[in-house]
Chains A and B, each alone.
Chain A
Amino acid sequence: MSSATDSASASAGASANPSAADKRPAAGTRGRTRSAYPRYLAGKLAGAVVSLFAVLVTSFFLFRLIPGDPVKFMTGGRPVSAEQLAVYKEEFGLDLPLWEQFTDYCAKALSGDLGTSYQFHAPVVDKITEALPNTLLLTGTAFVLYTALGAFLGTRSAWRHGGLGDRLNTGLALTLYSIPSFWLGLLLIIVLSVGVDPIPGLFPTGGMESGREEGFAHMLDVAHHLVLPVVTLVAVEYGQTLLVTRSALLDEMGSDYLTTARAKGLRDDLVRRRHAVPNALLPTVTLVFVNLGRTVAGVILVETVFSWPGLGGLFYQALSVPDLPLVQGLFFVFAAAVILMNTLADLLYPMLDPRVGR
């Protein structure tokens, strides 16, 4: 659903992007001295830390709302003596009052311990680090491709703005953008994986590896499994980058300094490439980072459809139990990814835009 929330900012164009919208006016008020950057940096980092802590707190309390006694789940349907129930409760610290559980949780979280998963009897951190590389592989590949594709097509679209190519381009992007990703994934499975006569299935139906190859063959195997989920993600996500790049560029192309540049006698496409594009990249860059953080969470659907052994699938399994420590841990990771990327965007922004923080 990353597409769900983002559609607003995407189509509202560059200035609709929340962080970008805020930063433009800020540039004026914040001092322009060089020494301002460290302070800006410190402020942003402190903000990130506060946000992370807020997420930690929420994830703890939010998930206490989920109905379900975890101990009862663990023993669900199996005959268990009352003493044994007490042992479980103690083992997972569920016999303590809520606030004590909370302080425990915070103290442990600070030392990198997110508790023990109820259903897997293993540390949450282990379960997450097991699945994280798989999710990163999937989202990372998709991210590079859809950002490159979106930025490239968006730039082209803006250059030939209003032409047939532009209309086709934005039309296609908007259409793909309106398609539910899980549905597209299922269709791809039917056509490219199950195969429709006379085309045989070209790609594996799910999973990340067939578990038989080693070494280079194993890498090929993983790449082969990667194609369909990546294509799905790229198809539904690139439109947003395209639209933002396009409108940012259009915005920039109306600026006075471009007229000046043209008046200097520079050729039109040079003006665009050297002046307009770099400036228009600013909102795109912000979006790119925000997106990367979001993609990690948005990948839940694609992972479910393609049986990808990543965080999304883990989250869904954990939630249906509910495996509270695991749900909490994953929620924290998802939110932290967004915060991290936002902060990174914030930190990079002044380097890209001389008007901010220098």
Chain B
Amino acid sequence: MTAETTDTTESASGSPPVKSGGPGPRALARRRRRASVARFWREYRKHRAGVFGLAALVLFVLVALTAPLTVGSDVDSVTDAPGQPLESPSGRFPLGTDQFGRNLLGLLIWGSRVSLLVGLLAAVLSVLIGALIGITAGHFRGWYATVMMRITDWFLVMPTLVLAIVLATVLSRSLGTIVLAIGVTTWPTTARLVRAQTLAVESRPYIERAKALGGGHWHIMSRHVLPNVMPLILAQTTLIISSAILAEATLAFLGLGDPAVVSWGGLLQDAREAGSVSSGDWWYLVPPGIGIAVVALAFTLCGRAVEAVLNPRLGVSR
């Protein structure tokens, strides 16, 4: 996979700064970046599904961010629960109540914060590890790369869910554990992709030039490789958030989440434990699942759109 969006412009920044009149090199670079962002957005807008996904995301993020104002933090209090246990939807409780008599709509909104946060953090962690290993393995080659790639391969064959369950069992039950369990098990794909891209970038002539001009490892990796793999990393992050949200729900559903925190997966687990499947209390079970599916879908759509913009040849989403 080759993303050719920024390399031609970036190659200039490897040459020694030119001190003359007009805008400085940094300002130039900034302008170039702004231009490429604008170009990116123009392309992105053409992907209807991607715009859809983005809109849905913005909506969910807004809901999550404003949750403290709209529902308030005491929505998960059991002693002050406003309703009777497991009330069906009504004007007062549009989605009914849970087994404590708490307002399910409120819990759903409140839970979106955790689900989004965990998804985001886990994806960031996963992509960070993946990018770090991918770039260094692509840059340094030799035995280091061999070892790193072997480790990556090894993680790739590990059954992810199994590994994540084990990690979540080993560590104490908290959000941090879930983030860690997901992050540590999902990075290999990213590492692979980033390494391939790094190899491609480093084979270009201007890297030779930068090296000849005395650019150290750090300089090459941070100034030349990183900007070039950045779009790929961005796309990966979006896609991994989607799977991380699913993974969070899965772990919470298996009872490995923090029981004191309200999340969508946790709500599903509560619903199941309360016996709402056989009692037909669909209002308890359906909304959190829809929430998970919609957010996961939205992130996937965005990720695909980003990918399609960066690499039109794949023609993934049109």
Q: Which residues of A contact B (CB under 8 A)?
A: 1-9, 11-16, 18, 21-22, 51, 54-55, 58, 62-63, 65-67, 161-162, 170-171, 174-175, 177-180, 182-184, 186-187, 189-190, 194, 196, 243, 247, 250-251, 254, 293-294, 296-298, 300-301, 304, 315-316, 319-320, 322, 327, 330-331, 334-335, 338-339, 342
Given contacts A16-B189, A335-B157, is CB(A250)–CB(B243) below 8 Å? no
Given contacts A11-B300, A251-B314, A334-B159, is CB(A190)–CB(B239) below 8 Å? no
Q: Which B288-318 residues sit within 8 Å CB-CB of chain A? A: 288-289, 292-294, 296-297, 300-301, 303-304, 307, 313-318
Q: In the docked arrangement, what's the CA distance between A187 and B272, Å?
A: 11
Q: How far is the CB of A17 from chain B (nearest CB, A)?
A: 9
Instruction: Look across to chain A and name the residue whose beta carbon is closest to the beta carbon of B311.
Output: A13
Q: How far is the CB of B198 from chain A (nearest CB, A)?
A: 13
Q: How far is the CB of B259 from chain A (nearest CB, A)?
A: 15
Beyond A11-B300, A186-B277, A319-B166, list 11 extra A-B contacts (CB 8 Å). A55-B158, A62-B166, A66-B166, A161-B318, A177-B300, A178-B242, A190-B282, A301-B253, A316-B254, A335-B158, A338-B159
Q: List 29 A-B contacts (CB under 8 A).
A: A1-B160, A5-B243, A6-B243, A7-B242, A12-B314, A13-B307, A15-B314, A18-B188, A21-B192, A21-B196, A55-B158, A161-B315, A162-B318, A170-B317, A174-B297, A174-B300, A180-B292, A183-B289, A186-B277, A187-B286, A196-B280, A247-B315, A251-B313, A322-B169, A327-B166, A331-B159, A331-B162, A334-B159, A335-B157
The yes or no answer to B124 lying at the interface (CB within 8 A) is no
B185 touches A12 (CB 8 A): no
Q: Which of B49, B154, B294 contacts A54 (CB 8 A)?
A: B154
Task: Classify chain B's interface size.
Answer: 35 or more
Q: Which residues of B contact A (CB under 8 A)?
A: 1, 49, 153-154, 156-162, 164-166, 169-170, 182, 185-186, 188-190, 192-193, 196, 235-236, 239-240, 242-244, 246-247, 249-250, 253-254, 265, 268, 272, 277-278, 280, 282, 285-286, 288-289, 292-294, 296-297, 300-301, 303-304, 307, 313-318
Which applies to chain B's interface (DSSP): helix, strand, loop or mixed?
helix
Nearest 7 interchain pairs by C-beta: A297-B159, A1-B161, A4-B243, A178-B296, A183-B289, A178-B297, A334-B159
Given contacts A13-B314, A183-B268, A189-B277, is CB(A315)–CB(B162) below 8 Å? yes
B189 touches A171 (CB 8 A): no
Q: Which of A13, A62, A294 contacts B159 (CB 8 A)?
A: A294
